[in-house]
Chains A and B, each alone.
Chain A
Amino acid sequence: MVHQKMKVVLTFFLLLCFSTTSWAADWKDEFVTHLHNGAVYVQDKQGHDLLAHRIHDSFMPASIIKLATTACALKLLGEDFRFTTDFYITPDKTLIVKGYGDPMMTSEELAAIADELQEKGVRQVSGIILDDSYFSPHIVIDGIEHSSNPYDALNDALLANFSTINIRKLRNGRIESAEPQTPLTPLALEMAKKMRVGSGRVNLAHDRLKAVRYFGELLAAFLQKENVTVSNVANNIRLGLVPDNAKLIYQHHSSHNLHDVLLGMLEFSNNFTANQIFLSLGAKVYGPPATVEKGVNVVSKFLREEVGWNHFQIAEGSGLSRRDNVTPFEMMQLVRYLEPYKELFPLKDKDQFRAKTGTLNGVNTFAGFMPVDHDGEVRFVIMINDQVPSLYKFQLAEMLQRGLNGEPLGVIKNPAPRRRSQRVRRH
């Protein structure tokens, strides 16, 4: 009789174990069918694999490669690093500005600089020389297109407001600055003439001379606000090197440290900032001028030696290039490397996940940290190189979370692959 009861209990437990194992296998098998041409990798806090599918295959990462730029910058520049900009004056009152690639040189920063220069006794400026020689003039970022979109903005050592102008054109033809802190400059007026009615942020169309000129015009406008006389602004701003007779009068340290810059860069997936940092890393180790090749060499070396990457290729620092490729296994290594800086990962999908997204036409990626019921949190990497809607990664991550929590997987809305002709914005 006792034996009979034990048999029943044992059978019950065996069936339970079998069904649990079978269910676990089932949800994972079902989940990977939603990946299309993609991969998934999930690890618990202790580094045990919870789900691994195609983790050693190479995929285009899109913007999750910004995590590589982030990690390298933290290592080589340090969290408290601040970009600098030097200001010189010559005996004939020419103001010279030498830039070192500060990506956060905004109107607010220029206003503070003008105030500081006035405090240092600058009352009159007969001309402005802009020295951007810290970056090579021949920088071409693979993947950047010739468009007026802000995410296609040019990289240079001396640029203002992310190399873009925010302007508004009214129905009556009037043109005004679309942001109160930024004065309207002659170049902004010139650019606005080509605009339709409405407001928008346009980049300076890959014209380095225009982009640097815009910096000079903005600085002149802020100096004039400080009652500094700037003679003949339109004709007295030019590119050049710091002359021998120039005296350093002020070194501006950005009001944003690297931690803040990275936080914003990852939150808004700012390609311009990512590549400014990427280029600066090359110049820091190999000396100026910054080039894409130097950036590639430094970041690649860092990834190989510090993170343990072996099967990858990077062509720039933002993820715009389709020549960037990496395996989910390596991305997981990078997520682990960055765990002490978890707060830098943006909160995504209604603040559910602390993770970085990547989106290009035919590329949908997501990597970071996901809260789950039992383990508290897991690390995850999803990489899809297929035509799926841009929000597909969020739906997949939610489904993955349900699976890890032992809930029914549910369905993905609108899972149909996109047509190849459809463009996806990059972020």
Chain B
Amino acid sequence: MYSLKINQPYLLFFFIINLVGLVGCGSSNGLEEDLTITISAMSFSPTALNALAGDTITVINDDTTTHTVTSESSPSLFDNSGTFDTGNISPSGTTTFRIPDSATLGTIYYFYCNQHKSLMSTPNGTITIQN
């Protein structure tokens, strides 16, 4: 009978490589979601993304003018609900913000640019809390 001999140090190496791969996929939620919002030509991209409680979202301002990513109570209310706010991001600037650890599954956070509000091509975006 054919028997497969497994070298234990090799198995350990293989396990570590896989672990590093999981951690390094750019998302702590295992969804392989790119947790980046890019702003260019007065638009958010994407306008809808999924995240986990405690995730860090990166914001890249690829536009020629200052923008923000600010949470709002509901779409187009532009009221800075206080959940998150990047503050002003200069052109070519990058920043991050964190989804609250207390965010519950299924919560939808709406966001907008506090500098341009409805003047944006995409005035609102959403972050949905998923598993």
Contacts and interface: CB of A to CB of B under 8 A. Distances in A.
Interface stretch (B9-17, B44-52, B98-106, B112-120): B112-120
Contacts of B64: 77-78, 80-82
A118 B119 CA distance: 41
Contacts of A76: 42, 65, 116, 119
Most buried by A among B63, B64, B66, B120: B64
B64 to A, nearest CB: 4
B41 interface: yes
Secondary structure call for the B interface: loop
B13 to A, nearest CB: 44
Interface of B: 41-42, 63-66, 91, 115-121
A287 interface: yes
A286 B121 CA distance: 6
Interface string A304-327: 011000000000000000000000
Interface of A is mostly: helix
B90 to A, nearest CB: 9
Contact of A75 (B41, B91, B118, B119): B119
Given A76-B42, A284-B41, 8 more contacts: A75-B65, A75-B116, A76-B65, A76-B116, A77-B64, A78-B64, A81-B64, A285-B120
Interface string A280-309: 000011110000000000100110011000
Contacts of A82: 64
Nearest to B91: A78
B119 A78 contact: no
A256 to B, nearest CB: 14
Contacts of B117: 305
The 8 A-B residue pairs with the shortest CB-CB distance in the complex, in nearest-first order: A78-B65, A81-B64, A78-B64, A285-B42, A285-B121, A77-B64, A302-B119, A284-B42
Contacts of B119: 75-76, 285, 298, 301-302, 305-306
Interface string A71-101: 0000111101110000000000000000000
A76 B42 CA distance: 8
